[in-house]
Chain A
Amino acid sequence: MTGIPPSPVLQGYHGTDKANAAPISLGNFHVGSAPEWLGIGAYFFVEGISCDDPPDDAKNWALFWAKGRYTRWSVMTAKISAAKLLDLTDRATLKLFNKYRKACRRRFGAKVPAGYLQGRSGLDILVLETMIKSGKIDAAKGDFYTQFNQETHQIPSRLPNATLLCVYRPELAIDLASIKEHSTGLIT
């Protein structure tokens, strides 16, 4: 056993352009096209190691990454029910994940998807996607160093500062009725 009690429902916070608030409320979260820390999915800040509240992390994320593309931010929140959540904040789970990562590297040797060569999460994503393919997981949670404001962008560090949840199929894990706009504001 991992020693972690089951957490069937997680409250997640997602920082975004205000223009996305209504489409998300009406049609659920969409997965992006760029593989991030835990692969392609919808990302949320959740309760964990951050010294700030998850909504503040989500707000800072939306503010920092606006970069002139939008002028109003929103933090969307939702209740997330992931029956097959891979909790990588649990040490026993992480230890097994490392074993699979090693096996994955050994398995593919010199013939691996090119994505493995790019970005820092390439091999992690191959392990996760293999698990997704086999139907073993539908979401993953982990602690990461996240650049969500000017300060963290300029400080080189690898120790994690936030807990992130990635939902691979939001339509199955998130009830539309639970999606709400937590907060919003102008980017000044």
Chain B
Amino acid sequence: MINLEDIDAELTSLFETITAEELQTHLDSRGYKIEVVDLAIEREKQEKQAQPTLFEANEVKVRSGLERDLPDVWQSCSAQLWALHFDDGVNASLVTPAHTYKEMLMAKLYHPHDSVSAGSFWQMQSLCLGLAEEKLGEILVPHLTSESLAAANSSEVALAA
């Protein structure tokens, strides 16, 4: 085991003299895929790129979350609930199960501190359903009607808040 105090002077000198190029060469030899960049240039480049929407930014996260959690979510949400929710979204009696479903999905896919807007959540849900159908091949996913979407939007404020 090394004692840093014994070589402190040497290391202090090293950190004061090593160049980015020297470190870069070493990192390359160790297998790191890293390039020396200028932060200002990099920042400018990033600003020029379009900012991804929350939906886009979270798509990978949702996909990986589904890989991990979908069987569990699926067991907890009956096929009847999925079908009912989308077939008859205007029926007030379905608001409660829809909320249950949404909260369950939210709990599975997001950390508590994540901030997700209501609109983005519904985009996420559509993605989830599509992926579920693709993955399990046994889920009927009717198209959202304008009525069901309106009903969903009216009930999602509380969730988002």
Contact of B20 with A by CB under 8 A: yes
- Residue of A1, A8, A93, A107 with most partner-chain B CB within 10 A: A107
Contact A96 B1 (CB under 8 A): no
Contact of B44 with A by CB under 8 A: no
Selecting from A14-22, A46-54, A130-138, A170-178, the interface stretch reads: A130-138
Q: Which residues of A contact B18 (CB under 8 A)?
A: 107, 130, 133
How far is the CB of A12 from the nearest CB of chain B, in Å?
Answer: 15
Q: A28-75: which have CB < 8 Å to B?
A: 31, 33, 35, 39-40, 67-68
- Residue of B34, B67, B112, B113 with most partner-chain A CB within 10 A: B34
Q: B130-146: which have CB < 8 Å to A?
A: none
Contact of B7 with A by CB under 8 A: yes
Q: Which residues of B contact A4 (CB under 8 A)?
A: 1
Given contact pairs A35-B32, A129-B30, A156 touches B1 in the complex (Cβ within 8 A): no
Given contact pairs A67-B67, A86-B2, A113 touches B7 in the complex (Cβ within 8 A): no
Partner of A126, one of B23, B38, B67, B111: B23
How far is the CB of B56 from the nearest CB of chain A, in Å?
Answer: 19
- Residue of B16, B18, B112 with most partner-chain A CB within 10 A: B18
Contact B4 A93 (CB under 8 A): yes
Contact of A97 with B by CB under 8 A: yes
Q: B18-59: which have CB < 8 Å to A?
A: 18, 20, 22-24, 26-27, 30-40, 42
Contact B39 A129 (CB under 8 A): no
In the complex, which range does the number of interface residues on chain B fall in? 35 or more
In the complex, which range does the number of interface residues on chain A fall in? 35 or more
Partner of B5, one of A33, A96, A132, A136: A96
| Docked pose: A31 CA to B12 CA in angstroms | 28
Contact of B11 with A by CB under 8 A: yes
Contact A1 B5 (CB under 8 A): yes
| Docked pose: A68 CA to B64 CA in angstroms | 12
Contact of A87 with B by CB under 8 A: yes
Partner of B23, one of A2, A35, A93, A113: A113
Partner of A129, one of B8, B12, B23: B23
Contact A86 B23 (CB under 8 A): no
Given contact pairs A111-B20, A129-B27, A154 touches B4 in the complex (Cβ within 8 A): no
The 5 closest A-B pairs by CB, nearest first: A115-B34, A103-B15, A113-B34, A110-B39, A96-B4
Q: List 13 A-B contacts (CB under 8 A).
A: A1-B5, A31-B31, A107-B15, A107-B18, A113-B24, A114-B35, A115-B33, A115-B34, A130-B15, A130-B18, A130-B26, A133-B22, A136-B2
